[in-house]
């Protein structure tokens, strides 16, 4: 049960925005639409919400899912400036013709749940960014959606509030049991909130998978570069043996490349130091809140690593053991 997008395409005049998009969203799942600005993420949300017509393909709702039980929250909140908090939350309930008694009960419950008690008579210009975001979410959740569409919901918040609101959203989903499609270009946001990520580039789906899978095993270079924090080493591969100058390592070769290839190593790859392994030269090592950040030369390539267990001293050689098999991709 859920949402099924099948072969959806969107063109603006002669410009192709979305090309043959097909994916599903399951009951209770959070799917992050991830990619840079301008790749059609918001347009796709509008198609699903029914506020932009579909000209190619189909969008099907199954089970308890429907267009009526789908709610879209925009990046800029779209709170009505002439309405106070109570009336903003009440707006959708009025439009759906709930009785006054039902509306009052629902609004009281949602105001308590969203920690908005005491702000009922405040207008949007009297609220902080985090309070505005909570009101926007409350106005959506009070309608008891099966599918919540969020367009860059935390982009206008500072770092601390972004982290806080991500935790809050996860709590809301566990409490109210809705599915979510989250549009974001923030990798950490997608990693923290999503059960699965859909990576968009150039109007097409490049990969769909769990965040950890996409981070360590991107389908292609476009995905790897979109995720960021990557090291690429040029060399050649034969079967599963990758070679570069002063470097030889067994790899995954899903595309069965034979010849020139790139060895892909995410910066966050789990690495331990030992007596044997891939030989590297430590160019620098510095402390960070997330662990030591090291610059290590492998062969002729200078690589950045953020998840190395073991003492690293600049100017020394080190043997590295990678805790997962690395992957090669086309140049």
- With H, G, I as helix, E, B as strand and everything else as coil, classify residue 158: coil
Q: pLDDT higher for 16 or 48?
A: 48
Residue 260's H or E segment, with its range, is strand 259-266
Select from 126, 124, 176, 121 the least CA-distant residue to 147: 176
Every domain of the chain and the residues it spans: 2-213, 229-329
Query: For 172-208, how does the pLDDT look when each residue is reduced to its tens digit (9 = 90+)?
Result: 888 888 999 999 988 989 999 999 999 998 889 999 9
- Whole-number Å distance between alpha carbons of 219 and 116: 44
Count other Cβ atoms within 10 Å, centred on residue 242.
Answer: 24
CATH number attached to the domain at 229-329: 2.40.50.140
Q: In what order do the strands lie in the sheet with 70-73?
A: 70-73, 147-151, 179-184, 30-34, 196-201, 204-209
Q: Over the chain, what is the mean pLDDT?
A: 91
Contact 153, 75 (CB under 8 A): yes
How far is 158 from 97, CA to CA, in rounded Å?
37
pLDDT grade for 45, boundaries at 50, 70 and 90 = very high
Q: Is the pLDDT of residue 75 over 80?
A: no
CATH of segment(s) 2-213? 3.40.50.300
Cβ neighbours for 167, distance < 8 A, ≥ 6 positions apart: none
């Amino acid at each position: 049960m859920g949402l099924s997008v099948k072969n959806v395409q969107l063109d603006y005049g002669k410009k192709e925005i979305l090309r043959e998009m097909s994916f599903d969203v399951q009951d209770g799942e959070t799917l992050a639409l991830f990619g840079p600005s301008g790749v059609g993420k918001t347009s796709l949300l509008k198609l699903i919400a029914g506020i932009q017509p579909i000209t190619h393909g189909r969008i099907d709702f199954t089970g308890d899912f429907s267009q009526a039980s789908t709610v879209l929250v925009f990046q800029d909140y779209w709170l009505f400036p002439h309405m106070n908090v109570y009336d903003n939350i009440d707006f959708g309930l009025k439009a759906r013709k709930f009785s006054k008694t039902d509306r009052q009960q629902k609004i009281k419950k949602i105001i308590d749940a969203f920690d908005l008690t005491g702000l009922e008579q405040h207008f949007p210009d009297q609220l902080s960014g985090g309070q505005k975001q909570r009101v926007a979410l409350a106005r959506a959740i009070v309608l008891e959606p099966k599918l919540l569409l969020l367009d860059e919901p935390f982009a206008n918040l500072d770092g601390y509030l972004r982290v806080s609101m991500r935790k809050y959203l996860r709590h809301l989903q566990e409490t109210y049991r809705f599915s979510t499609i989250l549009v974001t270009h923030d990798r950490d946001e997608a990693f923290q909130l999503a059960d699965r990520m859909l990576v968009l580039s150039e109007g097409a789906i490049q990969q769909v998978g769990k965040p950890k899978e996409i981070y360590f095993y991107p389908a292609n270079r476009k995905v790897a570069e979109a995720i960021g924090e990557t090291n690429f080493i040029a060399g050649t591969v034969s079967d599963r043996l990758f070679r570069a100058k002063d470097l030889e390592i067994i790899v995954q070769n899903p595309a069965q490349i034979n010849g020139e290839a790139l060895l892909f190593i995410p910066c966050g790859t789990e690495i331990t130091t030992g007596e044997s392994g891939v030989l590297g030269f430590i160019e620098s090592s510095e402390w960070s809140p997330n662990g030591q950040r090291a610059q290590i030369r492998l062969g002729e390539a200078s690589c950045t690593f953020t998840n190395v267990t073991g003492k690293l001293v600049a100017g020394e050689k080190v043997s590295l053991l990678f805790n997962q098999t690395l992957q090669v991709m086309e140049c």
